[in-house]
Structure 1
């Protein structure tokens, strides 16, 4: 096949125009073209009056070898690369040490899936419930304020990504095309086929639920075992080698190959690792608020007269501002047509996050507006000091919100003017259970307040109306990434605990569904190769 890149066409082009562009680029006639498929479709909306679609196309034609030679100097015409996934190993027949995976979010799912596909019959443990029961608990908390600390936005089958926008793109280096396997596996599990070619694919919460169930079923069919409500409370380590673990119910499981894919909110697990002597250190993360605007306003500014076009969908944005005080403020986890959600996993604390459904048709756009912080900003030098800072901020938000899991909120105009909010404006907050209007300027450290107050007007120069006085800020956003890094070596094992594989967001090696899933594939491969080496 031949891959053509950088095909640019008007938003309202016809399929015939696309085909003619292919013929023109390759300088071939209609009868030489056998077939073509869209590998990637994006758009250029820098000029919202003249939005263009950008294509990468895979073409099947007659005399492909000759065509590639003819266009050898054209950087936009190349042979389609082989993006199929190649398994690195197969389980030995005498496998007597089944690998264990702790956590069943995107990273843990793909560690388990790839191990199962290679025949290693992994044992997968998750502290939370299976995804439908977990969904009931999570939505129940939003409705009734009754929190289950083991089954919520953070914990349970599918991980934190289940209650998100379901974004499936990443900027990590993926030379081995692991991301293509992830997308293909998602489509096999019921995701829309468009995720294979749109430039910014997403799924949304409700579709993710069914997909996770199908992937679980596949792992079980291949010999894997998945146990829910199975929190790991202890690791067994002998002379620097992992030998097993103990669950919260007292059950012990022996294994010399254990992957840790716990997610970024498993604070008790971080504490246990630290006490056991596993090398762990504090890492940077970001803190701030959720900001909400009417989605229609964002669409109008970014897409102009093309707002509402089904190909474009709901508009998103990505913003960053470098402040006078040396801090950086940026938008994070932007959720078009979504809602702000209660994301705490500990009692008497308030945490916000964002979520969208596949349709992205809710009235508001929301995004985190966060400030980057460093370990030098933390309360002390402990590897767990970032966790302590998170807890302090979440506790402050709980008290400021009224101590009933309502979130403290403030109009953007009032936040910029340093005065409490008393009444809502045009933007109705979406956070459930509810919000309490107050003064958010007193929650974050002064350097964060100063940075956000400088950044919002700066963002307004990029997106007109971003500093709208009636826009809503809801606090606090603290779970942007893991506050710790569980260091691993080139073999993907802990630098001081052999057989322990720190993985995904919780270990500090991913940020989002896609990068976590890709890291899971890498971990599965490393575990398989290590197991085979010991069985030789």
Structure 2
């Protein structure tokens, strides 16, 4: 098998053109190609009037000499200096034998990292026990939509907490820039397809699933874990750890139950603030880390399509256009687009009463009227209020800043869970907004127009004001007067890291395995799933060594 990269074909090409292009690249007749499969497909939009698809394909080549070994050697020798034609890597996943051990691994949290840690441990025969503070995904969906429609928040069942994690109410993006030499990302995508995701996620350069599909997929994966001997307990919030001489021995639940556990995976998600406080009080080592704060911005999706795709806007082969923007402001801050959701909506993502938090979400079709993205500013622990780097509470100072900004946003929005909003033209001019223009914001429970100039620290406001016109020079109309900013975006990533060593265990608690976004080791569904698999492997190695 050979992997060929950078095969370019017009958008409207017949299916047989791909095989012909691969044969030309190899310098072989088409009859020499036994099979061809698409590993990745993207499109090059730099030339709007001549868009093309770019393929990476895996090709099985037939015997062109009497000896198959000679044939393989000849092919490899022929393309030894061609960086775009290489042997196909081994992406198979090898499980260890089933283990019959006295204790079960415990996983705290059932978002992407927890799901994949549980799934892989179950596939290896370890019968994991999962403790999830929220509800099963369908009950959780009812609670979340109830908050959006009726402004009644359940702090234990919302966008952040419950089966599937925060990624359930998102665009369902499945791409990442993490290093993945073990091809664990392929394992994540393959398991998603088994659970009901469309097969195109295996080859699309920017695959996504959408919220509604994620709900049924999460249920399917839960059933597989249970069929393999795993157990998932919902509404089971962990409120304490039992640590003896630096070693995990058990966990305590909010109902007072204690569960013996020598191997615990912490897959909390980035918003489990009370759990972070409990871990800090228990003495688990953690440290503050950078994250970003900002606003959501909404434009007509048709504007983004025209700016990015030109005459190909609306082509069903391309779908709704996205973007990725970065600006380095004069004050030294980096401003960038975050979690861009084509054809989606802005959602209420708070998990605490008296706070307003925004995020973005799309369905699989990406067919809603508006495009939205976070426009956020990078901040560091030196920006966090209330403590110095040497202060033992400094690890939690990012949480304090998040709460401060979210509570202020609640007040700016009228203290009703409506989000404070402002038109881009008014924001740039420094005046409050009093009426909407052509862009109707999608945020529910609603948007309260106001002045966002003090919704974020001054350095963030000035950096965003500088960045928006710069983005308008890259995407025509991006800084249009009627585009809507909605505040605040504060849950871009975890504000702390539960630091682990080379063996994936906590630096000071043996048997405790921090994982995923909440621990500061992932940023999105795919990377969190990959991290969950790595942690599962590390737990298996440790348990088998006993």
Indicate if the aligned counterparts of 1:397 and 1:476 stay in contact, CA closer than 8 A.
yes
Cα shift at 1:12 = 1.5
**Counterpart of 2:514?**
502
The CA distance in 2 between the partners of 1:120 and 1:306, in whole Å, is 51
TM-score (norm 1): 0.98
Q: Aligned to 1:209, which of 215, 223, 227?
A: 215
1:204-243 alignment to 2 at 5 Å?
A: 204-243=210-249
The CA distance in 1 between the partners of 2:86 and 2:160, in whole Å, is 43
- The root-mean-square deviation of aligned C-alpha atoms, in Å, is 0.9
Indicate if the aligned counterparts of 2:185 and 2:530 stay in contact, CA closer than 8 A.
yes
Comparing 39-48 and 188-197, the one that deviates more: 39-48
Q: Deviations over 1:326-385 (max 9, x none)?
A: 111000000000000000000011000000000000000000000111111111232111
Structure 1 residue matching 2:516: 3-state secondary structure: coil
The CA distance in 2 between the partners of 1:76 and 1:395, in whole Å, is 52
Indicate if the aligned counterparts of 1:90 and 1:528 stay in contact, CA closer than 8 A.
no
Structure 2 residue matching 1:383: 3-state secondary structure: helix
TM-score (norm 2): 0.96
**Counterpart of 1:61?**
61
Indicate if the aligned counterparts of 1:121 and 1:222 stay in contact, CA closer than 8 A.
yes
Is the counterpart of residue 453 in structure 1 residue 465 in structure 2? yes
Comparing 421-430 and 9-18, the one that deviates more: 9-18
Q: Aligned to 1:72, which of 74, 80, 104?
A: 80
Tell me the matched-pair count.
Answer: 532
**Counterpart of 2:14?**
14
The CA distance in 1 between the partners of 2:262 and 2:184, in whole Å, is 26
The CA distance in 2 between the partners of 1:345 and 1:287, in whole Å, is 17
Structure 1 unaligned residues grouped into runs of 5+: none
The CA distance in 2 between the partners of 1:92 and 1:37, in whole Å, is 36
1:72-111 alignment to 2 at 5 Å?
A: 72-87=80-95, 89-93=96-100, 95-111=101-117
Indicate if the aligned counterparts of 1:123 and 1:225 stay in contact, CA closer than 8 A.
yes
Q: Deviations over 1:489-516 (max 9, x none)?
A: 1111100111111110001000000000
Cα shift at 1:26 = 1.5
Indicate if the aligned counterparts of 2:314 and 2:320 stay in contact, CA closer than 8 A.
yes
Q: Aligned to 1:368, which of 371, 374, 391?
A: 374
Cα shift at 1:463 = 0.6
1:385-424 alignment to 2 at 5 Å?
A: 385-424=397-436
Cα shift at 1:138 = 0.3
Cα shift at 1:92 = 2.6
The CA distance in 2 between the partners of 1:224 and 1:124, in whole Å, is 8
Comparing 8-17 and 516-525, the one that deviates more: 8-17
Indicate if the aligned counterparts of 1:349 and 1:397 stay in contact, CA closer than 8 A.
yes
**Counterpart of 2:122?**
116
Indicate if the aligned counterparts of 2:294 and 2:375 stay in contact, CA closer than 8 A.
yes
Indicate if the aligned counterparts of 2:423 and 2:484 stay in contact, CA closer than 8 A.
yes
**Counterpart of 1:44?**
44
Indicate if the aligned counterparts of 1:482 and 1:508 stay in contact, CA closer than 8 A.
yes
Structure 2 unaligned residues grouped into runs of 5+: 64-70, 388-393
Indicate if the aligned counterparts of 1:91 and 1:528 stay in contact, CA closer than 8 A.
no
Is the counterpart of residue 484 in structure 1 residue 486 in structure 2? no
Q: Deviations over 1:20-41 (max 9, x none)?
A: 2112112222322222111111
Cα shift at 1:74 = 2.3
Q: Deviations over 1:468-499 (max 9, x none)?
A: 00000000000000011111111111001111
